[in-house]
Structure 1
Amino acid sequence: MDATTHLGLLSVLPATLAIILAFITRNTVFSLAVACFVGVMTMGEGPMGFPNLLKETLGTTSFSWILLLELFIGTVIAFFQRTGAIQNFTAWVEKRALSRIKVQLVGWVMGMFVFFSDYFSPLFVGSTMRGLTDRFLVSREKLAYIADSTSAPVSVLMPITGWAVFIAGLLIGMGPIEDAGQAMSVFVHAIPFNLYAWLSVATVGLVIAGIIPLFGPMKKAERRAQEEGKVLRDGADPLLGEELTNIAPYPAARTSLLLNFIMPVLIVISVAIGTFIVLDSAKTMEAFLAAAVFLGIVMRLQGIPFNDIMKTSTAGMKGVMPAIIILALAYSLNQLSEDMGTASYIVEITEGWLTPALLPAMTFMIAAVIAFSTGTSWGTFAIMMPLSVPVAFNFTGDAITPLIYATVAAVAGGGVFGDHCSPLSDTSVLASTGAASDHIDHVKTQIPFALAVAVVALAMYLCAGYLWIGIG
């Protein structure tokens, strides 16, 4: 099936079924598996279509990369816990006599600081702040929200990330954009127009400060944490194995905050940013591998036995298996949605709305629906950029105007909305993993805030669209 064909209404069945079942059953693995099975049966591939789908999807370089990244991250987090690094970091922060609000603001700032990778950011913020936020009775759902809403929304605003390179690459050849330099210039000029990303990041800080009041499931979760002392609801299934959450510091280990925490973090950041500058590709997986090797050597020099180091590493890998299983099924469902033409169907039934005045707003809405339904922002970019940006150039007579910037930003913002709040999204899974939150609880508590921000962004795009048409 090529990129322009689809199965009609049936093409949205698997993704829709997965989302509905996830909220009903609160079991993401079951929901994704059922959706994949129903999808292959709908395509007429029979019962064997399901294992064949898994083999084809998981035997790819992209999944191997996320698998290794998860395993190395699990190892680093396990080493942090075995050396007491996270406890040392918690103790260092506590000496600053921070309040409950300030502790959450630290997590918010940390999420914005680690802008180069939407994979590392939610895991880093969640795993390093979890002990501290637990102590201040901040619900795991809110910690996951803080980590999630400062990952992809921040990454898409920075011109020195893989997100920027990918989006710029898609723009080459559209209208007067002839090379990578011109494409990157358009991306940079579009940053102020990425309303959803800016509002999403700002909203987190305003919610933490209490300027925007809590509402919906998040309010209930925070009340439970503060009044009952439960950072997780009864019966919650944290998306992090006990092998990782229950690792105790090695007795009498001569560890330090600098060697066991700060240096590994600096290694990850320097390798990721350095490789991006030199190779135009941030080697995040390799960065975590380097940090894991460094930590292992340091632990041995600090007197921790080699067998204990290897045992800790294995425990860390086991601890991230729940996330890996969900990611494997999510990748399979995304591939199935692509094969069934889900995105093409959504675009086809909505393309009639793309009038000049409505272009930014409708582009944002369609991108958001596609991203939420498929759980992938980059896939949404690849679909929507070639559809919406040429239309914008047609309206401007191939001139690069604010309408072009707004359209590019609308695609980016819409993709981010779906990516960081869809239960099928890898970054949402990683946020739940880092915060050790029940995944569906995280999604349910975050969606009302993300949706409210999306509605405001949509209204602003509508106003801006009519303003530009009026000027034209």
Structure 2
Amino acid sequence: MIWLSLIPAVIAILFTFKTKKLIISLFIGVLVGSFIKNGFIDGLTSLGEYMMGAVASKDSAYTLSFLVAFGSLADLIEMAGGIAGFSDKVSKWAKNEKSVLRWAWLLSAITFFDGSFHMIAVGTVLSPILKKVKGSKEKFAFVLSVTSLQLIIIIPIATAYLGYMVTLVTNNIKLHGIEQSAYSLVVKSVFFNFYSWVMLLIALAVTLFGLGFGKYRMGKATKPHEEFTKAHMEREALLSKDLEEYPKNSKNLIIPVAVLLTSTIFFFWWTGRENATGFFNALENADFSRSIFSGIMLTLLFTTIFFLFQKISLAEIETHIVMGGEKLLSLVIILILSWALTAVTQELGFNELISEDLVKSIPRYLIPSILFVISGLIAYSIGSSWATWALMMPLAINFAANSGVSLPLMIGTVWAGGAVAEVIAPLAAEMTDISYGDHLTTSFPYFVGGIVITTLCYVIVGFFI
């Protein structure tokens, strides 16, 4: 009855595709899996065990804590005028649409450690400038989406994704007795994330040459009032309204970011130095979850002291630390539920489902492309790269173990498939002041083109594995 292991994930995907509500859909998937495994009453009582088990491991707790702390840091920076101050600096050099888009790329150098922060910071900095030069909001939303996850996921150091990626690989290779360094596998797999590389090239071409962006649309834009009341939309507008509490100061963005980057690298070296012969070898042997958490906590402490010297009250700082952490609560819930869904599907026999005979029945050269397409469909349906990675990584590791296909290649296809969810990001539409429907319909032709090109790349690579 191991085929029953597919039911929780399929139900979660179908509910998400129908409702577009990821948290509710993942919860239903976990609940159904718990019922199948334990019956009705025991299923209800064991539901909490799956969810608590998802956060019980030290690595998972570190990852979730880092995300909350990062939300706090981002809110502190915005409160202290760091983003607004940097916007004033940039406006002196950005004189037309093309230069605004180029700045979206350049600003990745100081916002690369988290996709949401990149979209919020860069969108806040450049949107007023884009409006002034009468540039295309749809084009900016596309470039903003691509320069978030697609760019950040291929940077294997000091990012919000890195701890989660390493933890995910670590947990799955342990099940197969693979003793390779999880970080080393993640670094190697970056080169096989063809989708992110392809989308970055497309976005770069849009930035430099336009590529006729906006002339071709796929689909019909939906309007927010179809799902929400007028009162709800008015409340959201008030919550998202920019408030300048303190004078604009670009140093309040640049200095905390510099501290975060240097401190994280330092802790990578510190936690790995005892088992290493040099600096780069220490990075490879680092305790990554502990390092990124230590880096963000040191940065929060430094930023607090730095802002206190600027006469920002401790009460104000504490309030924004709490507010910033709350903003990422939905992502924390998504991760917990996606990990719980992975746990219940594995208990139902998902790993045994991918038997050696089944794997050998698939032409070897098609395995990477098939895995990418399946991952991409799931990612687009549920709208979450994090959840897709959690669902598909056990499948990828099983395929690699049973087929002999390169482990970094299979891991890379999962990153690529999950990244499909983030090309058309609702947050990018919000930050550029367009509807999600307009962002979707204008970006979709390039989104589909990237999938086609990537699939062909994996088929070609399949002949050489």
SS at match of 1:250: coil
- How far apart in 2 are the matches of 1:106 and 1:356? 43
User: 1:42 Cα deviation (Å)?
Assistant: 2.3
Please tell me whether the aligned partners of residues 367 and 380 of structure 1 are also in contact (alpha carbons under 8 angstroms): yes
1:1-49 deviations in Å (ceiling 9; x for gaps): xxxxx730x3222222223322322322222222222221222342333
Does structure 1 residue 72 correspond to structure 2 residue 97?
Answer: no
Sort the Cα spacing of 1:219 and 1:133 in 2 relative to 1 into closer, same or farther, 3 A.
Answer: farther
- How far apart in 2 are the matches of 1:358 and 1:192? 19
SS at match of 1:312: helix
Does structure 1 residue 128 correspond to structure 2 residue 105?
Answer: no
- How far apart in 1 are the matches of 2:65 and 2:453? 38
- How far apart in 2 are the matches of 1:352 and 1:330? 29
User: 1:262 Cα deviation (Å)?
Assistant: 0.6
- How far apart in 1 are the matches of 2:319 and 2:292? 24
2:264 is aligned, of 262, 267, 272, to 272
User: 1:81 Cα deviation (Å)?
Assistant: 1.8
Q: Give the alignment of 1:42-191 within 5 angstroms.
A: 42-46=36-40, 47-111=44-108, 120-135=113-128, 136=130, 138=137, 142=142, 143-155=144-156
1:388 is aligned, of 400, 424, 439, to 400
2:244 is aligned, of 232, 249, 257, to 249
Q: Give the alignment of 1:380-419 within 5 angstroms.
A: 380-381=392-393, 383-385=395-397, 387-388=399-400, 391-392=403-404, 407-419=406-418
1:16 is aligned, of 6, 10, 35, to 10
User: 1:154 Cα deviation (Å)?
Assistant: 4.4
Sort the Cα spacing of 1:443 and 1:81 in 2 relative to 1 into closer, same or farther, 3 A.
Answer: same
The residue number in structure 2 matching 1:395 is none
2:323 is aligned, of 295, 311, 315, to 315
1:26 is aligned, of 20, 24, 30, to 20
- How far apart in 2 are the matches of 1:63 and 1:169? 10
Please tell me whether the aligned partners of residues 83 and 250 of structure 1 are also in contact (alpha carbons under 8 angstroms): yes
Sort the Cα spacing of 1:85 and 1:189 in 2 relative to 1 into closer, same or farther, 3 A.
Answer: closer
Sort the Cα spacing of 1:376 and 1:20 in 2 relative to 1 into closer, same or farther, 3 A.
Answer: closer
1:68-88 deviations in Å (ceiling 9; x for gaps): 222211211221121111101
User: 1:265 Cα deviation (Å)?
Assistant: 0.3
Please tell me whether the aligned partners of residues 110 and 254 of structure 2 are also in contact (alpha carbons under 8 angstroms): no
User: 1:104 Cα deviation (Å)?
Assistant: 3.5
1:122-146 deviations in Å (ceiling 9; x for gaps): 0331121121354336369643444
Amino acid in the other structure paired with 2:258:
L
Sort the Cα spacing of 1:197 and 1:147 in 2 relative to 1 into closer, same or farther, 3 A.
Answer: closer
- How far apart in 2 are the matches of 1:365 and 1:27? 22
The residue number in structure 1 matching 2:281 is none
Sort the Cα spacing of 1:153 and 1:331 in 2 relative to 1 into closer, same or farther, 3 A.
Answer: same
Q: Which moved more, 1:195-204 or 1:440-449?
A: 440-449
Does structure 1 residue 340 correspond to structure 2 residue 348?
Answer: yes
User: 1:415 Cα deviation (Å)?
Assistant: 0.9
The residue number in structure 1 matching 2:34 is 40
User: 1:291 Cα deviation (Å)?
Assistant: 1.9
Please tell me whether the aligned partners of residues 22 and 440 of structure 1 are also in contact (alpha carbons under 8 angstroms): no
Percent identity at matched positions? Answer: 19
With normalisation by structure 1, the TM-score equals 0.70
Please tell me whether the aligned partners of residues 11 and 337 of structure 1 are also in contact (alpha carbons under 8 angstroms): yes
- How far apart in 2 are the matches of 1:451 and 1:63? 33
Please tell me whether the aligned partners of residues 156 and 187 of structure 2 are also in contact (alpha carbons under 8 angstroms): no
SS at match of 2:245: coil
Q: Structure 2: which 5+ runs fail to align? A: 132-136, 273-285
User: 1:164 Cα deviation (Å)?
Assistant: 8.1
- How far apart in 2 are the matches of 1:38 and 1:345? 19
Please tell me whether the aligned partners of residues 69 and 288 of structure 1 are also in contact (alpha carbons under 8 angstroms): yes
Q: Structure 1: which 5+ runs fail to align? A: 1-5, 225-229, 393-403, 423-427
Sort the Cα spacing of 1:167 and 1:105 in 2 relative to 1 into closer, same or farther, 3 A.
Answer: farther
- How far apart in 2 are the matches of 1:149 and 1:386? 25
1:397-436 deviations in Å (ceiling 9; x for gaps): xxxxxxx6xx4453133111233235xxxxx59x766886
The residue number in structure 1 matching 2:313 is 305
Say what the alpha-carbon RMSD is for the aligned residues.
Answer: 4.7
Amino acid in the other structure paired with 1:102:
S
Amino acid in the other structure paired with 1:461:
Y
Q: Which moved more, 1:81-90 or 1:106-115?
A: 106-115
User: 1:269 Cα deviation (Å)?
Assistant: 1.0
Sort the Cα spacing of 1:314 and 1:48 in 2 relative to 1 into closer, same or farther, 3 A.
Answer: same
- How far apart in 2 are the matches of 1:89 and 1:272? 23
User: 1:147 Cα deviation (Å)?
Assistant: 1.3
User: 1:379 Cα deviation (Å)?
Assistant: 7.0
Please tell me whether the aligned partners of residues 81 and 87 of structure 1 are also in contact (alpha carbons under 8 angstroms): yes
Sort the Cα spacing of 1:247 and 1:97 in 2 relative to 1 into closer, same or farther, 3 A.
Answer: closer
2:253 is aligned, of 257, 261, 267, to 261
